[in-house]
């Protein structure tokens, strides 16, 4: 079934002809002397998301009967676009909401309705009970990574635009919710902000170690490091830098940190280092990792600030534990 066109004038009943208005050929009534305009129909859609799941409705009527789509419908004469969007959402899902953002605007030609303009809004639930209504036969939440094929391409475009707009926000949420004890660390790795810098840190471990070597062999607080071969000192620093990267990736755990740094504390005591020197050298490694990370273009956008904060938080977790076990190894010489 295709969209039907006018055959007769709705005012006088005369058969409609065609006439150019400017460069555009339009339907025209020779009796009433008026043109008829076929403007795109405004369609409103809503994206209501909860914990990365969005509400979809299964269509009960043609076109695309039985397919899923966003809560959608036509704006009525005399109502605002925003009011229409919230009305359609309430009629099809039973949910009351408020508009928070315009997600996407798209135009298309539909075989059934003709030219359409889709306006998709992000909404926030304020009340109501989730229940299929109007021409919907089913309504439910779908995970954003398991969205079925949608009835309207404009819906698909809007959902993709919504996901793209939320990627950085979700990365922030994931990063700040993650704790060192999280057993699913490796599974969540790709969503974390500072993981975007892990490869940079690991691939530049030698450069960071070189910068650290210059510090540790020139400062009074690390005097004994100047008595050792620079190649040996360099390898020691590089090993800790790489270890920090592996910890960020989830390849080493609390037990690994405890065993390594407890032994490191014992070894430095045997080598004649003062505890203050060992701790100062560790602090210098942390400083050089941080300064190198900042030199890679951070602070340019708001998301970069969150990235820096999240990276700093995880550095604190790692190096605080390393410091504690070094001191324990240095003081007791026995495993905790």
Just list the catalytic residues: 138
Query: How many angstroms from the chain centroid is the CA of residue 20?
Result: 50
CB 59 within 8 A of CB 136: yes
Give me 291's structure tokens: 């300064």
Q: What angle do CA 58, 61, 63 make, to 5 degrees?
A: 95
CB 60 within 8 A of CB 92: no
**CA-to-CA separations, 41 to 8, 11, 54, 62, 112, in angstroms, rounded:** 21, 22, 25, 17, 12
Q: Which residues contact 326 (CB under 8 A, 6 or more apart)?
A: 261, 262, 264, 265, 268, 278, 279, 282
- What phi and psi values does residue 137 have, to the nearest 5 degrees? -100, -15
Bridge partners, residue 74, by sequence: 43
Q: Is 317 exposed, middle or buried (0-12, 13-18, 19+ CB in 10 A)?
A: middle
Bridge partners, residue 120, by sequence: 45, 104
Bridge partners, residue 93, by sequence: none
CB 175 within 8 A of CB 196: no
């Amino acid at each position: 079934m295709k969209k039907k066109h006018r055959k007769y004038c709705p005012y006088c009943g005369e058969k409609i002809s065609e006439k150019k208005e400017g460069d555009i050929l339009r339907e025209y009534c020779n009796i009433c002397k008026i043109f008829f305009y076929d403007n795109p129909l405004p369609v409103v859609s809503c994206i209501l998301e909860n914990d990365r799941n969005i509400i979809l409705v299964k269509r009960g009527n043609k076109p695309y009967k039985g397919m899923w789509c966003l809560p959608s419908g036509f704006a009525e004469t005399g109502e605002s676009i925003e009011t229409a969007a919230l009305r359609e959402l309430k009629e099809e899902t039973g949910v009351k909401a408020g508009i928070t953002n315009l997600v996407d605007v798209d135009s298309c030609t539909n075989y059934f309705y003709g030219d359409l303009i889709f306006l998709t809004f992000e909404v926030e639930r304020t009340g109501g009970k989730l229940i299929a209504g109007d021409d919907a036969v089913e309504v439910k939440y779908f995970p954003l990574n398991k969205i079925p094929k949608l009835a309207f391409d404009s819906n698909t475009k809007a959902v993709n635009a919504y996901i793209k707009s939320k990627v950085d926000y979700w990365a922030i949420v994931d990063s700040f919710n993650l704790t060192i004890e999280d057993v699913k660390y490796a599974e969540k790795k790709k969503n974390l902000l500072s993981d975007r810098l892990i490869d940079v840190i690991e691939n530049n471990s030698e450069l960071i170690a070189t910068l650290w070597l210059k510090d540790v062999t020139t400062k009074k607080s690390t005097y004994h490091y100047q008595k050792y071969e620079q190649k040996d000192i360099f390898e020691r620093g590089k090993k800790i830098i790489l270890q920090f990267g592996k910890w960020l990736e989830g390849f080493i755990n609390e037990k690994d940190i405890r065993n390594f740094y407890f032994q490191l504390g014992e070894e430095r005591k045997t080598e004649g280092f003062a505890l203050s020197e060992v701790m100062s050298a560790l602090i210098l490694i942390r400083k050089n990792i941080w300064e190198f990370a900042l030199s890679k273009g951070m602070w340019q956008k708001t998301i970069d600030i969150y990235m820096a904060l999240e990276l700093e938080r995880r550095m604190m977790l790692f190096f605080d534990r390393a410091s504690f076990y070094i001191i324990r190894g240095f003081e007791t010489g026995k495993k905790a």
